[in-house]
Structure 1
Amino acid sequence: MSNLARKVSEQQQQQVEQSVQNKRQVKIKKYWLTPGEKIIGVVFAGMVCFGATHIISTQSKLYEANKQLQMVQGKINEQEKVNEDLQVQVSQLSSYDRIFAKAKEMGLIKDENNVKVVQQK
């Protein structure tokens, strides 16, 4: 009986090995993502990269425009200061007393009898 029991156990082991081999052969590889999902993922990643690049380039253009605007605004402020200084000089130089003093230096005299009035039509 020992031979018979041994043969039965060997047959059972062979059957188990064959079933294991069959299972290994039948085993289908399962991928985490299908090829379609991979393509969609790559397209999505590309769109995200393109969008990020587009946003960064837009921000840099906006920064440059603001920088130029600030430079122009600074130049305008400087020119306004110059204009105000010149306006003050004009008001000082066009005062009646100064004009009268310059006229006396040049030899002009004020003669009220020699004044003619011009009327507008």
Structure 2
Amino acid sequence: MSYYYRGNLAVELEKNHSRKKTKRTIKIKPSIPTGEKLLYLLFISIIVAGAGFVGVRYSEISQYNYEIQSLRKEIRINQEKNAALQLQIEQMSNRDRIVAEAEKMGMVSNPGSVHVIGQNDSTGKTKTGMTN
């Protein structure tokens, strides 16, 4: 009844078990040499640095493209403003408008005080000087 003294699962029935001792040969793989590890590390570092450089340059190119687009838009807006101002200059320098504005201000026309420089005469030659 000694079986149940320590519980039925903890009892060994036969105590004369013979274990065979076998020799195992363990093969140890040689590790990668230190120089080769450093070479791999250098290679990976160069690749990471190159990828970083390409990324930075791509970022700069994108920024330059954005600036170019904004400057082109600004140029287009300025050209439209210049065209509107040029039209306004042409309208303001119209002789009939100037005469009408002068008459509104109370000015009178005196043809005798007008001096014309570089007017063509009837012969087709250019006169230089003042006429009264």
Q: Distance in 1 between matches of 2:36 and 2:92?
A: 83
Letter in 2 for 1:56: G
Shift of 1:41: 1.1
Q: Distance in 1 between matches of 2:99 and 2:81?
A: 27
Q: Distance in 2 between matches of 1:106 and 1:94?
A: 17
Q: Distance in 1 between matches of 2:78 and 2:64?
A: 21
Q: Distance in 2 between matches of 1:117 and 1:29?
A: 108
Q: Distance in 1 between matches of 2:57 and 2:110?
A: 73
What CA deviation, in whole Å up to 9, does each residue of 1:3-24 have, x standing for no partner?
xxxxxxxxxxxxxx8xx86xx3
In percent, how many aligned pairs have the same letter?
29
Shift of 1:28: 5.8
- Which residue of 2 is the match for residue 48 of structure 1? 47
Distance of aligned partners of 1:104 and 1:47 in 2 relative to their CA distance in 1, 3 Å threshold: same
Higher RCO, 1 or 2 (CA under 8 Å, sep at least 6)? 2
- Which residue of 1 is the match for residue 29 of structure 2? 29
What's the C-alpha RMSD, in Å, of the aligned pairs?
2.5
- Which residue of 2 is the match for residue 10 of structure 1? none
TM-score (norm 2): 0.61
Shift of 1:38: 2.0
- Which residue of 2 is the match for residue 81 of structure 1? 80
Q: Flag the structure with higher helix content.
A: 1
Secondary structure in 2 matching 1:107: coil
Distance of aligned partners of 1:38 and 1:107 in 2 relative to their CA distance in 1, 3 Å threshold: same
TM-score (norm 1): 0.66
Q: Which consecutive unaligned segments of at least 5 residues does structure 2 have? A: 1-21, 118-128
Letter in 2 for 1:41: Y
> How many positions carry a matched residue from both structures?
98
Shift of 1:43: 0.9
Q: Which consecutive unaligned segments of at least 5 residues does structure 1 have? A: 1-16
Letter in 2 for 1:103: A
